[in-house]
Chains A and B, each alone.
Chain A
């Protein structure tokens, strides 16, 4: 790669200028990462794509079968519902956590981070079983209410959508806290101080300075939670009810039980397309915000 590739920088925003002039010498350093991604991601993905079009010869049968099945549309709807609900709740709960941690001093922050990281390090299977113990009929929550307040909580907290949400949000919150916290810590404190000096109330400082500056991080966190939750299947299977079936569960069925890898591949590609579309929408939000 030569430097001549780098043309004159168009007069534009600083942000765009940074993107338009990459240092091609340094690009070599990313070669190992690119090779790794190609070997373990791009090539397998291409194989999945081929498999989705191949059943004793080229065919679109898999896609036709999927688009024509009511089962798929029902499951896709559930998947999108669960994905969006879980992402939204995680963001709503994760943001205050990130904000709180950003206000702490170094030692306090380290301790707080451990609490965020603990669930992040725990296996999703273990967490799901733990939630059955905590939220179940004879679980800690219901028993405490019974013994302390002699109050019988009607309705279940697990094996329905509530259980799925608790499990998913618990899993997703660290992925919201990290990017948002990173952003909040990187914000120059002078901006807030300046706003205060100019007579803004604390509330105004938050909504008109801190929050606005953190929107890119919120979008990044949303993208992460959407991608992660659209492919989830353990949590709904263990904590959900009979209606909480995800597309990933259907892929699992075609892969392991029906052994119809053409259908499984076609479903995977469709799921990828759906999550790609969601990410695209999110990136539009991000761009709209920048200009």
Chain B
């Protein structure tokens, strides 16, 4: 059945609930923007399809095959992949009352920011029953999906053992470990790293001592040759010998190694962060979306995801027994005193203020 966007917008006249011209205009934009997506979906009609927005690349291709398509088949919907979750686009869709995205994969700060802005559908915990098995706190409108972690990246060909930093205090020690350094150009994860470097214990990070973090960053600032904007550059800058040490993600390093790159990560003291999933407010397919979220937390799906995507971790207890030995070997133990865990709630409350201070801090000196 071919879906006709114009017909649909007449059936649900958004103008009745919307106010002045801005919203009506946005409706028009949303309709125009969504038209290609609907056409691209081919036979799928709005009622029996779900649009999943992820970060793209080989990762999304892999988890689409491992979890999304099998789960969609079980639920009886067509699943369409889209790329690049963006809160501004989400806000435009929700204000226009024409939501094209159903489920999104989000970072902690993004998910909780969207939740605060009321852009997300509250999680229906009567459907998402697997959430009771989560090792991390549940939220009103978003759910942990998988873990990823960062450490210190280096090229083992250029830096044999003993020549690269293995802890964040060592990363800050530019005399003992000379080399060009890079960090991300955003405060989340980097403030944590700065506090770890200053001697804060991984389990005592929160609430973050922001002033202390900036004092610590002041010390490393002259030695940071590059503040990385794009995640891909965390790996490519080491490969192109542009930098020696930086903050990288395990998953990215493993993927680069598979392609034959000489890159390694020192992650004995990892900083673990969470990727969350959420449902856009006003989705036409709320029940199916909730069913899919529940499926993503099912032990077999959790295990299949992490076994298939090295460098990620599970967020439910029951999946632990189904992990492959290779995965168990690299997976950080969240209870270990060496492992720092990113606190999304703290960032949700403080991100905006800290982000502006960080931007200003980058510009001076």
Contacts and interface: CB of A to CB of B under 8 A. Distances in A.
B251 to A, nearest CB: 21
A256 interface: yes
A133 B240 contact: yes
A196 interface: no
Contact of B229 (A70, A238, A250, A256): A238
Contact of A238 (B91, B113, B230, B242): B230
Contact of B22 (A50, A70, A138, A245): A50
B360 A138 contact: no
Interface string A241-266: 11101000010010111111100000
A137 B240 contact: yes
B363 A47 contact: no
Q: Per DSSP, are chain A's interface residues mostly helix, strand or loop, or mixed?
A: helix
Contacts of A261: 88, 91
A132 interface: yes
A161 to B, nearest CB: 13
B95 to A, nearest CB: 10
B117 interface: yes
Interface stretch (B37-45, B252-260, B293-301, B351-359): B351-359
Contacts of B362: 242-243, 245
Contacts of A38: none
Contacts of B351: 257
A237 interface: yes
A78 B359 CA distance: 13
A71 B356 contact: yes
Given A71-B360, A242-B363, A138 B25 contact: no
A51 to B, nearest CB: 7
A259 B88 CA distance: 6
Contacts of A259: 87-88, 91, 113, 117
A74 B360 CA distance: 9
Interface in A128-147: 132-133, 136-138
A143 B22 CA distance: 55
Contacts of B224: 242
A73 B25 CA distance: 33
A35 to B, nearest CB: 15
Contacts of B1: none
Interface in B298-328: none
Contact of B242 (A43, A138, A243, A250): A138
B217 to A, nearest CB: 11
Nearest to A159: B226
A51 B25 CA distance: 13
B364 interface: yes
Which bracket fits the contact residues of B? 20 to 34
B359 A71 contact: yes
A59 interface: no
Contacts of A75: 363
Contacts of A51: 22
A255 B362 CA distance: 20
A44 interface: yes
B34 interface: no
B132 to A, nearest CB: 31
A187 interface: no
A253 B227 contact: no
A156 interface: yes
Nearest to B353: A258
Interface string A48-79: 00110000000000000000001100110010
Contacts of B231: none
A241 B21 CA distance: 41
Contacts of B360: 70-71, 74
B60 interface: no
A260 B116 CA distance: 13
A50 B229 CA distance: 32
B15 interface: no
B242 A44 contact: no
- The 5 A-B residue pairs with the shortest CB-CB distance, nearest first, are A242-B362, A138-B241, A71-B360, A256-B88, A242-B227
Given A250-B359, A256-B88, A258-B355, 9 more contacts: A47-B22, A132-B240, A159-B242, A237-B229, A238-B229, A241-B227, A245-B363, A261-B88, A261-B91
